[in-house]
């Protein structure tokens, strides 16, 4: 039985430590992400969720082990980690404001045959706005560009950081729908504050608190326990995308 | 009227040299956050390599034009190789250690001037250029030295080529994106370090062109020429907007013209002060320079 679980693990994070300045942000984070579906990384503000994603990618200095499909990524530079079929949708989008939408997408091309059909099928608006400078797009449109960059390549793992942050409720539902589609194409490690979105798409959850993992398990199991949710996340388990 | 035309063309010629130095400086800072105080050394490499090759290696060639062109080509190549080596050997090991990078580039600039003085002496050397460059063309009564046209045309060509490179090639796209957010470029799977070396090499070529043209402009080369031109190039970069080649071009023209006009119409030497005053005004009105933070 243990062998079967091991075989299904795509990402394994073990004893991950990150120091940012004087702050010991991650204090031995360990968890595994199963291949397929969505694992949600939850926790209050400032507990190290974004830092965990950035540490997996090597965007911040870290100690510990990060394995993708059994391969140790710890000594690899960020671009080499990404080239192992890892996509990243950062918090606050981080699109290139001075480039056009088309240039933002072109920059993200890695595969020989980028999946523009899929991108434009999901976000037809991006085709119409291809020549527009990305900095002039609305928040929702910028989020489309950020997700589209990750979708363009055939990634095995997608690290998606708060994709609904700052979006209007109607757009949150749209993003949740897109995330559902994403999860059919790749394994997703999702940082998300909106529990309605988590309930809709996540299979597993990892909860962080003060730089440590305090809970792992089935998403529905956690969300069915309002008291546990309140204790771990300081929020109500209610909420719809 | 003829004086005004002469001042304008001379100011544009000076601005052209400022631009050639500033364009590389601006891209290097914009992409890598490196304040490269050794950029003047790239100019010196260009001027001395072209002078030495023209006077010694190609001295058997009778045509002065051919000797000059071959020497200039060697100067450009030397500038590119030297700049790339500086990035690979000195800057890369200090990646994201900005204080140390400043210290090493300041140290290199001082050491390099001393090295050139040690090899070729502290005196200026006459810089041989085709006779046509030292003659004049009369425009509306103004006798314009011909080298000014070459300086302006060369800077304009470099500006066009850089814009084509930045906007029509994948490396240009990577550099423009890297100026905005270097970490995100790497998070897209791109090895941004190759772009660092390329930008240094391009900056080295542009500065080496400025080195060749400054030899023609001043008729001589000396070990400290790079350092003195670098000060104004830094001002141009800040006024134009760090990371913006287009902004640097506009700022270089403004600075070159302002220096010439003020030096003539106010008092000789006041032009430099006027440039510093302009820098202060631009920083107050537009702290990120004329073009902001985009590589344009």
**pLDDT score at B295:** 47
**CA dist., res. B15 & res. B21, Å (int):** 10
Torsion of CA A200, A204, A208, A213, to 10 degrees: 170
**pLDDT score at A2:** 44
**pLDDT score at B120:** 95
**CA dist., res. A238 & res. B4, Å (int):** 75
**pLDDT score at A240:** 46
Give the ipTM of the model, two decimals please: 0.90
* Candidates 3.90.920, 1.10.1070, 3.30.70, 1.10.3470; CATH matching B2-285: 1.10.3470
pTM over 0.90: no
- Residue A101 · residue A130 · CB < 8 Å: yes
Average pLDDT of span A49-70: 96
- Residue A67 · residue A78 · CB < 8 Å: no
* pLDDT one-digit tens code per residue, B33-63: 888 999 999 999 999 999 999 999 998 898 9
- Domains, chain A, with CATH or none: 1-85+188-241 (3.40.50.300)
Domain ranges (residues) in chain B: 2-285
CB of A97 within 8 Å of any CB in chain B?
yes
Q: Which of B188, B293, B295 sits opposite A107 (nearest CB)?
A: B188
> Which of B95, B173, B184 to probe the A interface (max A CBs under 10 A)?
B184
CB contact under 8 A, A83 and B185: no
Chain A hits for B173, CB-CB cut-off 8 Å, are: 99, 103, 106-107
The angle subtended at Cα B215 by Cα B210 and Cα B221, nearest 5°, is 115
């Amino acid at each position: 039985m243990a062998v079967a679980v091991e075989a299904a693990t795509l990402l394994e994070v073990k004893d991950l430590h990150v120091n940012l300045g004087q702050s010991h942000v991650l204090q031995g984070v360990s968890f595994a992400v199963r291949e397929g579906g969505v694992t949600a990384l939850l926790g209050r503000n400032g507990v190290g969720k974004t830092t965990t994603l950035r540490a997996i990618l090597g965007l911040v200095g870290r100690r510990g082990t990060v394995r993708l499909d059994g391969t140790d990524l710890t000594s690899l530079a960020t671009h080499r980690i990404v080239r192992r079929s890892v996509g990243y949708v950062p918090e606050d989008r981080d699109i290139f404001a001075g480039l056009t939408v088309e240039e933002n997408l072109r920059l993200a091309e890695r595969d020989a045959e980028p999946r523009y059909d899929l991108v434009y099928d999901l976000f037809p608006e991006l085709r119409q706005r291809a020549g527009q400078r990305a900095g002039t797009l609305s928040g929702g449109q910028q989020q489309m560009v950020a997700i589209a960059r990750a979708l363009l390549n055939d990634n095995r793992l997608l690290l998606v950081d708060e994709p609904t942050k700052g979006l209007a409720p109607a757009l949150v539902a749209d993003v949740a729908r897109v995330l559902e589609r994403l999860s059919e194409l790749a394994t997703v490690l999702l940082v998300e504050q909106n529990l309605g979105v988590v309930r809709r798409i996540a299979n597993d959850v990892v909860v962080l608190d003060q730089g440590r993992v305090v809970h792992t398990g089935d998403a529905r199991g956690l969300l069915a326990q309002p008291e546990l949710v309140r204790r771990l996340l300081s929020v109500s388990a209610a909420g719809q995308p | 009227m003829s004086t005004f035309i002469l001042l304008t063309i001379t100011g544009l010629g000076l601005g052209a040299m400022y631009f050639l130095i500033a364009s590389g400086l601006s891209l290097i800072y914009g992409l890598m956050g490196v304040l490269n105080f050794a950029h003047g050394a790239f100019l010196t490499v260009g001027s001395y390599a072209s002078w030495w090759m023209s006077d010694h290696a190609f001295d058997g060639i009778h045509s002065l034009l051919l000797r000059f062109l071959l020497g200039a080509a060697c100067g450009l190549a030397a500038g590119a190789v030297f700049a790339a080596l500086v990035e690979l050997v000195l800057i890369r090991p200090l990646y994201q250690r900005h204080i140390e990078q400043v210290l090493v580039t300041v140290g290199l600039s001082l050491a390099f001037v001393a090295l050139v003085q040690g090899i070729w002496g502290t005196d200026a050397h006459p810089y041989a250029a085709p006779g046509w460059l030292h003659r004049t063309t009369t425009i509306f009564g103004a006798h314009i030295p011909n080298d000014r046209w070459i300086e302006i045309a060369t800077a304009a060509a470099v500006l066009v080529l850089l814009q084509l490179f930045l906007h029509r090639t994948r490396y240009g796209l990577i550099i423009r994106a890297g100026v905005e957010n270097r970490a995100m470029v790497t998070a897209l799977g791109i090895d941004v370090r190759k772009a660092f070396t390329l930008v240094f090499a391009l900056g080295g070529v542009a500065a080496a062109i400025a080195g060749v043209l400054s030899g023609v402009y001043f008729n001589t080369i000396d070990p400290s020429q790079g350092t003195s031109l670098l000060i104004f190039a830094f001002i141009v970069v800040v006024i134009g907007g760090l990371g913006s080649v287009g902004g640097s071009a506009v700022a270089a023209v403004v600075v070159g013209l302002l220096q010439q006009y003020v030096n003539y119409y106010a008092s000789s030497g006041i032009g430099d002060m006027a440039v510093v005053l302009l820098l202060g005004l631009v920083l107050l009105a537009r702290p990120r320079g004329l073009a902001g933070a985009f590589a344009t």
